[in-house]
Structure 1
Amino acid sequence: MKKQSNPQPSPFKTVHVQDACGMTLAHDMTEIIPDKSKGPAFKRGDRVQAADICRLMRMGKNNLYVLDLDETQVHEDEAVFELASALAGPGVEFSGTPSEGKLQLYAAYPGLFRVNVAALTEFNMLDDVMCASIHTNIAVNKGDSLAATRAIPLVIDRAKLDQATALAKSAYPIFSVSMFNPLKIRLAIIGNEVYDGLIQDRFQAIVEEKTARLGAQILEVNILPDDRKRISAQIRDYMDKETDLIITTGGMSVDPDDVTRESIEAVGFDEVHYSAAVLPGAMFLLGYTPKITIMGLPACGLYHRTTIFDLMLPRIMAGERPGKRELASLCHGGLCRNCPICRFPDCAFGKSA
């Protein structure tokens, strides 16, 4: 015969109102003043004070449901502060007052929001706690909502709460916001058609708008023909100056005149990755020296409002150095649906599980 476990003591208790001083209310208590007001005079989690007794009796409350907690039990409003504190890393803050037992986590400043997805999943595998967030690697502004957490029951066992906070602390930070660096950026616009004046360049305005949005500035712009030596020489010139990020536009496809990739490789970057599992943006190039990053933008940036550039620029500006695996991992969510009205970043583009 299966041995029955001892039931946990109920945290709810009925007491006479005159005996409730110091106890915690188990639910909201509504007060109605005819022709004047109706609302919660006392909220769930409030501790009954001596001065409250007369008011409760005037409200017709002779008996109350109160929380009779011992050291092994924690009310949800207290528990959620412990959960939020354990989850929040640099650049993440949370509101001071729980709403329905829940706390919102916010961005303390503009930057790149990062989530330790594996750790967050493990956190949600635990009993009686939860936390939901927006996607990782999202550019956020100060005050943006990032996540929300709560304890599931009104009263959570101290052991379960400690287990959840310990997991979050061991994976610290599960949530963080990395500030964008004010990078020194130089731009090379490449293409015979632009260099010869046959068409007007539109790439400069696009790049300037997207970098400025994240707090960066283009320091220098040069227009070059599809000439390997001239392109390589210009890139070397940029590298000899105070430059954090070099951006090239055009010349990244398979046409005979497209020599930008070869010109970049000839300069001698330590690491060069060509192609990404993203559409639009498959023929994207990303390379590094110890101090400089180079991004080669394909021509799709002229025809699509949102491309691989919008996914990678915030990460570069936050100090990341994505490699081949990161570019490959964009495959899940890397297909832009070319919606008639673009809602990026409030869409699935660039967001993987």
Structure 2
Amino acid sequence: MQAKATALIPVDEALRLLLDGVRPLDAERLPIAECGDRILATDIRSLRTQPPFDASAMDGYAVRSADVARLPARLRVIGSAPAGRPFSGAVGPGEAVRIFTGAPMPEGSDCVLIQEDAASVADDMIEAKETVAASRHVRARGLDFSEGQPLLDRGRRLDPPALSLAASANHAALDVVRKPLVAIIATGDELLPPGSVVGPGQIIASNGLGVAEIVRSAGARVLDCGIVADDRDAISATLDRALEAGADLIVTIGGASVGVHDLVREVLTARGGELDFWKIAMRPGKPLMAGTLGGRKIVGLPGNPVASLVCSYVFLKPLVACMAGRLHEADLRQGILGAPVPANDQRQDYLRAAIRREADGIVATPSAIQDSSMLRVMADSAALIVRAPFAPPADAGEECQLLMLS
């Protein structure tokens, strides 16, 4: 495995390399009930006309506008038309049919006298209290859409209105972009699953859970490959398992740095993988790596908990969204510093910050300690203050850029 660059590369360049050539995955056909929040893989047209007939828009009486053009007007009720049970006859001069919302307009009628404007004067007789113009309170056939009409474009997220529209157009199944399967492999002899009794030198593995939720939020399915020891054969076997399961993206956590027990890069090298980059000019997250293995994208996240989450927000989320056919734009906003920050070095900083909203805008106060092991601070932070390389010191009250997390 040969890296294309050995020096620290800028965040924007790393993101460009990561997304280069990435396209939405192939389509799969699913029952429409399983398509909520999925991305359409094809344009769809209506398979029917809606409404399929001139329909009443109100509860009332189907009448002829000529019969209620002048008041007083009395009409004989000759039948009823509930929704789903059309009146089979025709409305003649001086006649009316009791009708309900959604029912087809009977032959001969051209408007609806709403029930509030009608008074019963006998068992089969009503009196109109208001005049009604032709087509009033009538939904014309095809008002919403017609058979064959384009309705939704490829790439549209099937939110509740879009899903309902596709169903109304009589689509029982839809072609949607397949959800990427992301295999997550946590490495480290020191790691134990939550709920374990922790021995000397051991810690609880937490990174994988947070990373999994981030990729799910971008439209992926997750294959949890568990915790793998710092062992070349074990790491290699787990990579095989991920490939055999059909993972579209493999994410490793830990083992990507330069220590003698950081074996992930070594194993990938031995397997003939291609490395696009390794080591990013960012803090936290410097030892991030990305490449391909067996034709699949692979991303190696740092082992430090905060670094793995920050890198997932910055790199994994847009990558997975692109594979899932989703439009992803980082939620970047202008904010106001709530405390001074020192000058920056050559790495782009992502400072965990608490925020509060004031009349002048969003005030972001960075945590006094930014150690990449401190998850409590990360959990309390609603945004990351993004500090460009070599940024000068800034005082409280100055503008800053924020990557919003929640």
> TM-score normalised by the shorter chain: which range applies?
0.3 to 0.5
More strand as a share of residues: 2
TM-score normalized by structure 1?
A: 0.41
Larger relative contact order (CA 8 Å, sep ≥ 6): 2
TM-score normalized by structure 2?
A: 0.36
